[in-house]
Amino acid sequence: MRNVLFVCTANSARSVLGEALLRHLGRGKFTTFSAGSTPRGTVNPDALACLARHGLPAEGYRSKSWEEFSGPGTPEMDLIVTVCDNAAGEACPVWPGHPLVVHWGIPDPASVDGDEATRAKAFDLAYERLEFRINAMLSLGDGVFSAKDGNSRLAAIGAAVDD
């Protein structure tokens, strides 16, 4: 089992989608977590609706600080994926000292205003981009975690065109 932590600013949308997707697509090979640098305290209801629309469980998620994973007795992470969108001017937390830390910037669907259909479209786009990247990661196989160039191969997924 590999431990993977998805990190974004508020831990209310993108990181929760990543946590849920890898848990589903990883088929029992990953223990997944999500956290935020400045957690909102609640998971965005549109994120939970997006998971449900795609047939994934939408229960049991909570918005929490990445500090919950940095102290003694916490699970040792194999991979930390930041999903905040630098282009939107968000501050991405840094996970010091971990060899596999990658950035897969995803525009924040929670920042989209509009009716339910407009918001759903934004969340579905974030979901699809994360799904594409997670599938690309899974296609690399478990050896990527110990490969000399594993970090750069995983980081390259974040730069891939996924539309």
Q: What is the DSSP letter of 65?
A: B
- Domains held by the chain: number: 1
Does the reported pTM lie above 0.75? yes
Segment 29-53, tens digit of pLDDT: 999 999 998 888 899 999 999 999 9
Domain extent at residue 60: 2-159
Q: Check which CATH number belongs to the domain holding 152 and give it.
A: 3.40.50.2300
Alpha helices in the chain (DSSP H): 14-25, 45-53, 116-139, 150-159
